[in-house]
Amino acid sequence: DIELVAGRAQVKGAPSLFVEISDLARRAIFTAAAELPAGEEPGLDTTHYYEPPRVTFPNATHVAIVDVDVETGFVKILRYVVAEDCGVMINPMVVDGQVSGGVAQGLGGAMLEHLVYDEDGQLLTTSLMDYLVPSAADMPTIEIGHIETPSPLVPGGFKGAGEGGAIAPFGALANAVSDALAPFGAQACELPLSPERVRRLVSGALA
């Protein structure tokens, strides 16, 4: 008949008979195995595996505002906004970091990382010697807004947080560049949006 109240494990009906939970934890970790009941080992570790009946997914909307230099083909991101929904957030700071890292990955794919193959289908851009990835200096300030829609499929209402940052930059950047080049009748349908490719879009539209 033990109940946990205010950081104590106490006897029901006799609150004066108690042990501090912090003391229980200390004993569980530091008591020698020989002094514990048979079959018990020191420690407070437990492992449990949960297999959800169905998969749940995060959601996000990305909006980019860009400036395109039609002479050089350089694309400058002026503003980048993400509204994401990963269900109930366990740690909002970690979620912000996960979304920011995902956006960095997505921007790299949308702007810099070009998969080049030869005529035999052999990948030529196989290392960082052959293609660029975004650095901290290349990243815009990412404005993140959170919407918490609990998932009914898993305990706690949690969803993932990575996909909501990494997938949408491709479409957001392509649409933003297409909007900027609309006066030329050009549309960005291929990635990455390297300066060379953007210049070709403008030149092709003007030809």
Taking only the tens place, the pLDDT of each residue in 30-45 is 888 888 888 888 888 8
Q: Kindly report the pTM of this predicted structure.
A: 0.73
Taking only the tens place, the pLDDT of each residue in 177-193 is 999 999 999 999 999 99
Percent of the chain exceeding pLDDT 90 equals: 68
SS3 of the chain: the string is: CEEEECCEEEECCEEEEEEEHHHHHHHHHHCCHHHCCCCCCCCCCCCCCCCCCCCCCCEEEEEEEEEECCCCCCEEEEEEEEEEECECCCCHHHHHHHHHHHHHHHHHHHHCCCCCECCCCCECCCCCCCCCCCCHHHCCCEEEEECCCCCCCCHHHECCCCHHHHCCHHHHHHHHHHHHCHHHCCCCCCCCCCHHHHHHHHHHHHC
Lowest mean pLDDT across 80-84, 88-92, 135-139, 142-146: 135-139
Percent of the chain exceeding pLDDT 70 equals: 99
Q: Is the pLDDT of residue 62 over 80?
A: yes
